Amino acid sequence: MIFDALSFIFGPFFTTNLWVFRFTYGKFFLYAFCNLIMDLVFAYPLSALFQKMGHYQLKKFNSKIIFFISYSLALLNYAFQKFIEKPNTSESTNPKSSE
């Protein structure tokens, strides 16, 4: 059971999130749209498929809650990266202005 959970968390879901983040970073609306589609597909058809395959069984959550949690975490991921990102000081200062 634990192996199934860890392989699911650190497998395709995590990897896909990183690749979407990598290719859409700096374009918030594209990032939000890609995650919206990805999380909708995960929450509804894929979640039902994984439950039928026996990977997990939703007891206290339903697909709507899974979607809202996944999408919220994706938006928090973007906000956290923007928060910790340091501005590039070499681009913000003009070397000609010091002459």
Nearest to 79 by CA among 16, 15, 32, 23: 32
pLDDT for the residue numbered 9 = 67
Distance (Å, whole) CA 20 – CA 74: 10
The total of other beta-carbon atoms located within 10 Å of residue 98's CB is 6
pTM exceeds 0.75 for this model: no
Report domain extents, the chain.
25-83
pLDDT in tens, 5-61: 676 667 777 788 788 888 998 899 999 999 999 989 988 998 889 889 887 788 888
Q: Is the dihedral of CA 40, 43, 48, 53 positive or negative?
A: positive
Exposed / middle / buried, residue 11 (Cβ in 10 Å: 0-12, 13-18, 19+) = exposed
Res. 62: pLDDT tops 80: yes
